[in-house]
Amino acid sequence: MLSHDPWLVLEDVHLSCGGRPVLRGLSARLVGQVVGLVGANGAGKTTLIAAMLGVLKPERGRVEVVGLSIPRDAMLLRARAGVMAEQAGIFPGGSGVDAVAFAGALSGLDRREALRRAHRALDALGVGEERYRPTQGYSTGMRQKCKLGMCLLHDPDVLILDEPTLGLDPPTRTQLLELIGELRERGMKMLLSTHILQDAEAVCDEMLLIEGGAVRYSGPTTGLLREDARVVVARGDGLDQPLADRLGKAGVTVVQVTPGEIRFRTSDEALRSFWQVVAENHAEVRHLGAEVRSLEEAVVSMMRAPLGAQEAAATPPVGSGGAHG
């Protein structure tokens, strides 16, 4: 679901931690209701989240989240946002329901109301009697549910989820993704930082791919997948290396050859040449179509490609974003 007004605006954001530049001129305008934040370890995802919350202050640039200017309105954003931090645990010492209610109290709910909401949230998340047990003995799944409960309790306008499905078993992970889908239906804006790209593909409308503290891609998830639609896969008999060599001589850019399968970059000219070479060599093509890749493959291929090459190959993105250097 894409609206026209960006809820997350980053303009030339520069931020250093301990003298080391982490964010280097990050710029993006994101409109998607669920935005996937992806990037390798150390790319600057957690630092970006901290900058969005005003916990870390950029040396330069502008950060705006749901219309609030950060760091000026950071406290208001923190009151309006629910954050599930990957590295942070649960408030220690008490039971699950106590920790969840405490999170609500810190957001300004009175204790009785926070406790009532905590029970409701844990009911909805499928946490039964375990809620009364000390949190030290909780499984990873239970901890993640409690953490999600903690960030949903005060009915936030925006959710920032850092690796919410990390360490979860498949049924719990599916349950959590379904819940994210439900929240999306209710109109909640979300930033989902994850390494599990299947999760991002399942729920995100828009992607923000960062690398080395800069934006590598920002825009619709479909746009990221479409970048690979320029590659065509041909399958059939006689599609082998000698034929690929002949295609190359005919001006077709062959990407990959495996026995019975050739991938090449498409254009009207390349297609004409392809059919001509196939006919001349009596090869038989049984399938010809755009390559369908997963988000994971698309992201990995984008991250592996050198910056300049990627920019040259990038399809103009739909909506607000695009590939960035």
In the bound state with another protein, the residue whose beta carbon lies nearer, of 134 and 238, is 134
Q: How far is the CB of 227 from another protein (least distance, A)?
A: 31
Region of residue 139 (phi > 0: left; psi between -120 and 50: alpha; otherwise: beta):
beta
Instruction: Select 79 or 285, whichever has its Cβ closest to another protein.
Output: 79
Q: How far is the CB of 163 from another protein (least distance, A)?
A: 12
Closer residue to another protein in complex, CB, 109/298: 109
Q: Which is nearer to another protein, 1 or 75 (CB)?
A: 75
Which residues make up the interface to another protein (CB under 8 A)?
46-47, 49-50, 53, 55-56, 75-76, 78-81, 83, 85, 87-94, 98, 102-103, 105-109, 111, 113, 117, 120-121, 124-125, 150, 152, 154-157, 160, 179, 183, 186, 188
Minimum distance from residue 162 beta carbon to another protein (Å): 9
Helix (H) or strand (E) holding 234: strand 231-237
Q: Say if CB 151 and CB 82 are below 8 A apart.
A: yes
* CA 128 distance to own-chain centroid: 31
47 vs 310 by CB, closer to another protein = 47
The DSSP result for 266-306, as a single string, is: --HHHHHHHHHHHHHTT-EEEEEEEPP--HHHHHHHHHHS-
Shortest distance, CB of residue 12 to another protein, whole angstroms?
22
The minimum distance between CB 57 and another protein, in angstroms, equals 11
Min dist CB 78 to another protein, Å, is: 5
Query: Shortest distance, CB of residue 109 to another protein, whole angstroms?
Result: 8
Q: Pick between residue 40 and residue 229 the one whose CB is nearest to another protein.
A: 40
Q: Cα separation of 307 and 323, whole Å?
A: 10
Residue type, 91: F
What is the rounded (10 degree) CA torsion for 262, 268, 269, 274? 30
Q: How far is the CB of 175 from another protein (least distance, A)?
A: 13
Q: Is residue 220 a contact partner of residue 317, using CB atoms and an 8 Å limit? A: yes
Closer to another protein by CB, 50 or 283: give it: 50
Contact in structure between 315 and 227 (CB atoms under 8 Å): yes
Q: Which is nearer to another protein, 101 or 215 (CB)?
A: 101
Whether the upstream peptide bond of residue 71 has omega within 30° of 0, thus cis, is yes
Q: Which is nearer to another protein, 44 or 220 (CB)?
A: 44
3-state secondary structure 141-172: HHHHHHHHHHHHCCCCCEEEEECCCCCCCHHH
| CB 284 to another protein: min, Å | 56
Please name the residue ranges forming H helices in 56-169. Answer: 74-80, 96-106, 111-124, 140-152
Rounded to whole angstroms, the Cα distance separating 178 from 285 reads: 41
